[in-house]
Amino acid sequence: MKFKYILILSALIGQILSLSAREVTSFNEGWLFKRGPFSQDPVKVAAQWNADWETVNLPHTWNAKDMQVKADAFYEGVGYYRKTQFFGNELKGKRVFLRFEGVGANTEVYVNGKLVGMHRGAYSAFAFEIGTALKLGAENEIMVKADNASRSDVIPVNHNLFGVYGGIYRPVWLIITEQNNITVTDCASPGVYITQRNVSKRSADITVKVKLDNGSLTPADLVLENTIYTQNGKKVTSHRLPLVLTPQGTQTYISTFKLNKPHLWQGRKDPYLYKVISRLLADGKVIDEVVQPLGVRRYEIVPGKGFYLNGEKYPMYGVTRHQDWWGLGSALTNKEHDFDLAQIMDIGATTVRFAHYQQSDYLYSRCDSLGLVIWAEIPFVNRVTGYEAENAQSQLRELIRQSFNHPSIYVWGLHNEVYQPHEYTAGLTQTLHNLAKTEDPDRYTVSVNGYGHAEHPVNQNADIQGMNRYFGWYEKKLQDIEPWVKGLEEKYPWQKLMLTEYGADANLDHQTEYLGDALNWGKSFYPETFQTKTHEYQWSVIAKHPYIIASYLWNMFDFGVPMWSRGGVPARNLKGLITFDRKIKKDSYYWYKANWSKDPVLYLTQRRNIDRERKHTSVTVYSNIGTPQVYLNGKELTGIRQGYTDVHYVLADVTLEQGKNTIKTVATYNGKEYTDEIEWNYTGEKKRSADWSENKEEHAGW
């Protein structure tokens, strides 16, 4: 108990010391909100403006419901937020900033009626200095105008692939510093940039670049101190740099270190994090301080062989994640982010593509500490207008500067499925690649194509070529994935290729035993069993081909698509392994957990396909704990065989009884017995659904 008290006291002292240098406080309570549109009549506008403001706390979105329940029937436009805040005279001589983590999508911020800043883009953070607009010793009004209407000059330029939720949907922070500080407004970055070179078990060269800003009219004699600490808080090394900081523009200062025998960041196996603290001192007193993570690691991609972490081949078991939740939209708290990451860890994933936009910095920080290798990208997706180039570059610059120090990030995503005009798109991709290499020479870049051939006109303009392939769903047959991979491998052995999306939709209310090798996705019948078959076969092919450096199944969770109505559920993409409300894990989830995770898995598939269509059917078991025993109505079945991978077990000819049938599987692992049990009901043979495509074959258990 005494030890616990000391820890709490130490933490409080640390907070007090930190606050003496820089105060960062939540600015999320007590906002007033009003949604547009407003009348064009000046009298009516005034009446609308003064009436019926709703009290809200942040994060908040006005699209939490209408983007999720009906296709193409949501509000996109303007919403207003107001907050009254008292600022005392003790702030005289201080600098005051507001930092927004994310506003959908285009923002204007006013303080006491004065415009203090504008921002374009829904997913990157931004910070504005507001001190000169404040009235000290008085109440001040902060107003935020948010607008999520599509614009041709702001990416994404439409709501087609996903909805851009309107509102202040991520937290807002009030930051107070002295006149001299580590810059707050360098694209809302930490103002500290940590690079690492020549990383090995023997040593690593670390550079810490800090940007400083003087808000006064007088040069200041200061000391910049950069210190590296172990994960437990022990000082490793430190560098102090005396300097004279002038008021004329942001200045950059650099400290270099050599770490001997560094404790490497080893992904999920050992995500060890050092801590870098940058302190600015005046007359021996800390006047500003920023803390950043340091995970010492080296990423390398070898074409045709795979992904390497610190010189050792690393399995890239990949999922993708959209940030929205049922009933919440994108207005998530850390609790929701932690839940999603827990599912990603549980399934055994080692890498995540956070698509198709910059996601919460908290999420990236958690990936640092969990050891997930991640892909971060900008929302240059779906369509090209010819007017988005400047904003695409701006959002990429913001993404890189804000996320620069996260060791978990290995690649910057430049675009996803954007095409014509080919010349413009290819040129913009080259520009984005060059920008990324200027901002961060040490990470990879990637662009993603929805076509399956390397010679497509917009390809080969980034370090990595991503391809989204949905064999059996949008095109061809499930089995066509293997000749596609082999063809690319033979023709383009030098290519760094990633399979960046694959999968199929699954509506849990849709079930059938009759599965062909292709489904006409335009129909309204999206059976879970077809999704399961897709993932079973296609993962087995991916696992055999190291030419595919990494694969990312689409998607970890069902998500909102407000322009769509497919698969019997409006405004929903059903390709997730987990339902939109996060309550049900589909069969495919357990397929990957059995293949990827070290946790014991014993799982019978088709537990929701209860009303059986055939007397002679098949039973599938996923087991990573050895060959299971399977029982039908208490009698052990024989003839079990291994399927596509060594966790896949199939009984291909099982005869059901009339009425209720109980299937049970048993396996023993490390002296512990594991079981799983489901019930099916058979009442007679049933015909195939008319919603299937012409290419139909009977389900053989796979």
Which residues belong to the active site? 417
- Beta strands 641-642 and 464-468: pairing type? unpaired
Three-state DSSP state, 694? coil
What is the C-alpha separation between 408 and 62, in angstroms, rounded?
32
What is the C-alpha separation between 296 and 10, in angstroms, rounded?
27
Q: How far is CA 107 from CA 57, 110, 353, 421, in A?
A: 18, 10, 27, 29
- The one-letter amino acid code at 339 reads F
Structure tokens at 388: 């988005």
Exposure string for 526-535, b = 16+ CB within 10 A, e = fewer: bbbbbbbbbb
DSSP H or E segment with residue 606: none
- Residue 667's beta-bridge partner residues? 674
- Where does residue 689 rank: exposed (0-12), middle (13-18), buried (19+ CB within 10 A)? middle
User: Contact at 8 Å (CB) between 149 and 77?
Assistant: yes
User: Contact at 8 Å (CB) between 97 and 69?
Assistant: no
Residue 19: CB partners within 8 Å, gap ≥ 6? none
Phi-psi region of 662 (alpha: psi -120 to 50; beta: other; left: phi over 0): beta
Scanning the structure block, which residue is given the tokens 């007679």? 684
The number of C-alpha atoms within 13 Å of 610 and in the hemisphere containing its C-beta is 8
Closest by Cα among 252, 236, 170 to 203: 236
Count of H-run helices and E-run strands, the chain:
10, 40
Scanning the structure block, which residue is given the tokens 């005046």? 282
Cis peptide before 616 (omega within 30 of 0): no
Three-state DSSP state, 474? coil
Structure tokens at 122: 């829904």
- Where does residue 207 rank: exposed (0-12), middle (13-18), buried (19+ CB within 10 A)? middle
User: Contact at 8 Å (CB) between 146 and 104?
Assistant: yes
DSSP 398-438: HHHHHHTT-TTEEEEEEEES--SSHHHHHHHHHHHHHHHHH
User: Contact at 8 Å (CB) between 528 and 507?
Assistant: yes
Cα 650–Cα 665–Cα 340 angle in degrees, nearest 5? 85
- The one-letter amino acid code at 37 reads P
Q: For the chain, how far is it from start to end, CA to CA, in angstroms?
A: 56
What is the C-alpha separation between 244 and 252, in angstroms, rounded?
12
DSSP 42-111: HHHHHHHHHS-PEEE-SS--TTTTHHHHSTT----SEEEEEEEEEE-GGGTT-EEEEEES--BSEEEEEE
Indicate the DSSP class of residue 310: T
Scanning the structure block, which residue is given the tokens 């614009």? 151
- Where does residue 68 rank: exposed (0-12), middle (13-18), buried (19+ CB within 10 A)? buried
Closest by Cα among 189, 194, 216 to 204: 194
What is the C-alpha separation between 107 and 395, in angstroms, rounded?
14
Three-state DSSP state, 576? coil
What is the C-alpha separation between 504 and 76, in angstroms, rounded?
29
